[in-house]
Amino acid sequence: MAIAEASASGHGEFEQSRFRAIRGPAGLVMGYVATILVLVTLNFFLPRALPGEPLEALSNPRSPTFIGDQERRLAVEQYYGLDRPAGEQFLAYLAGLMRGDLGKSIRYNVPVSTLIAERLPWTLLLGGTALTAGTMGGVVAGIRSGWRRGRDGDRLLLPLFVALDSVPMFVVASVIISLFAVQLGWFPLSGARTPFSDAWPPWRQALDIGHHLLLPAGLLAVQFSAFQFLVMRASMIGELGSDYIRLGRAKGMTDRILKYRYAARNALLPTVSVVGLQAGLAVSATIFVEAVFAYPGLGRLMVEAIASRDYPAIQGVFLIVTVMVLTANLAADLAYRRLDVRTRR
């Protein structure tokens, strides 16, 4: 799947600006803003447009999603404002967004924004470490594999990483948990820290968090590295037959120099452009891993919200997560423009 998506964004080619009418960073930012607007609108319309009238069902005593508790039901009805005309609803929604009001969670009865603020740091910790480790590992492995295409380690690594890329992580996660956490007992089963550990000295807390982090982050890192490996490898292979590498060899440069200073430096560019894509995939993977490990991040929140049809929470997480991914995309696009000397004028 990763391969297909990578091809779509054209790894190797680069989609400069989503808003192609205007070139340059301005165009990129405008495209970004436009997409956010579409997103916000989409978020508004989907619950109201999809078949099954999910929002109305919340107030319908006969529906399985009926909210028994009156106070909560009223809060939700207030937030969605279904009795008001559509235009008014939309404006109220936008006004709420400006204020940071994402509604109140049906399940937890606290503002969604509060929930998100609680959970976001954990997701960032998990995703951040995994992304860093996975990208580095994948890039390094990809460079070596691409250089030695079809020989030595590549013959092992390629099928391995293809398998890792396509296998659902939550399956692997369950196996890993039962092996390392249950059977061997080396790692905790779930959570981000031991309960009541906030009373411990800071260094011990840090260690504890790290201990809990290792398994989920490791798994995520493996998934990220698989994707990054495939992209980097393909990029390296693309450089292999180039004229400048042949001339480098004629100049008497060693294999090591040719591999890194010549091929890898050029092959690295396309991988930057897919970092944005990587962020999207990161989100998906993180949701699953958090679910399996019961890690208290946004992903877990999403899964909990689904179980209880907690629409405000689902929508809130969707919005925040998507905005984060779009921002990462924008950052990657802007960084690419600076890095690619060809477009630097």
Partner 1 sequence: MSAPILEVNDLHVRFANGVDALRGVSFALDRGEALAVIGESGAGKSTLAHSVLGLIQPPEASGSVVVAGSAMLGATDQRLRAVRWSVVSLVPQASAFNPVVPIGDQIAEPLIEHAGMSAAAARSRTNELAEEVLMDPSLLGRYPEQLSGGERRVALLAMALALDPALVVLDEPTSGVDPIGRVALLERIATLSRSRGFALLIVSHDLPAAAQLGARCMVLYAGEAMESGDRHAVIHQPAHPYSRALISAYPVMTTTRDLRPIRGSPPDPRAIPPGCPFHPRCTQAEDICRNQRPVLEPSRDRLVACHFGGVRVLLAASEISKSFRTAGRTVRALDAVSLTVEHGEAVAIVGRSGSGKSTLARVISGHLHPDAGRLVLGDPVLGRTSASPGELRRQVQLVMQDPWDALSPRLTVAELAREPLDIAASKNAEQRRQAVAEMLNAVGLPTSGGFLSAHSHELSGGQLQRIVLARALLAEPTMLVADEPTSMLDPSEQARLLVVLRELQVEKGLALVLISHDISLVRKVSDRIVVLESGQLVEEGRAEQVSGSPRSEAARLLVDAAPMLEHPGGDPRPPSAPGGRWTR
Partner 2 sequence: MTASASWFLKIGGAITGVFLLLVVAGPALAPYDPQAVVGASLVAPSGAHLLGTNDAGQDILSQLLVGTRASMLTGILAATLAVAAGVLVGATAGLLGGWADLVAMRIVDVFLAIPALPLVILIASLASPSRATIVAVIALAGWPPISRIVRSQTLVLASRGYVHAARGFDSGWPYVVRRHLVPGLAPLIVATYVNWASAAIVLEAGLAFIGLGDPTAVSWGSVLQRALGHAGIYATAAWTWWVLPAGLAIAGAAIGLAFLGVAIEPRSNPRWARS
* Segment 242 to 261, residues that bind partner 1, using CB under 8 A: 242-244, 246-255, 257, 261
Residue 4 interacting with partner 1 (CB under 8 A): no
Q: Which does 315 bind (CB under 5 to 8 A by kind): partner 1, partner 2, none?
A: partner 2
Closest CA to 119 of 331, 285, 303: 303
Q: Which does 170 bind (CB under 5 to 8 A by kind): partner 1, partner 2, none?
A: partner 2
Residues that contact partner 2, how many (by CB under 8 A): 74
Residue 48 interacting with partner 1 (CB under 8 A): no
CB of 277 to partner 2, least distance (A): 9
Quick note: the x/- pattern for partner 2 over 111-150, rule CB under 8 A, is --------------------------------------xx
Select from 27, 29, 40, 54 the one that contacts partner 2 (CB under 8 A).
Answer: 54
Return the residues of window 227-246 that contact partner 2 according to CB under 8 A.
Answer: 234, 237-238, 240-241
For partner 2, the closer CB: 5 or 118: 5
For partner 1, the closer CB: 67 or 268: 268
Residue 325 interacting with partner 2 (CB under 8 A): yes
For partner 2, the closer CB: 41 or 207: 41
CB of 28 to partner 2, least distance (A): 11
Taking the C-alpha atoms of 25, 29, 31 and 37 in order, what is their torsion angle to the nearest 10 degrees?
180
Tokens read off for 222: 């493996």
Quick note: the x/- pattern for partner 1 over 265-294, rule CB under 8 A, is xx--x-------------------------
CA distance 118 to 135: 27
Select from 46, 86, 110, 117 the one that contacts partner 2 (CB under 8 A).
Answer: 46
CA distance 333 to 16: 7
For partner 1, the closer CB: 239 or 290: 239
* Distances 12 to 161, 165, 220 between C-alpha atoms, Å: 20, 20, 25
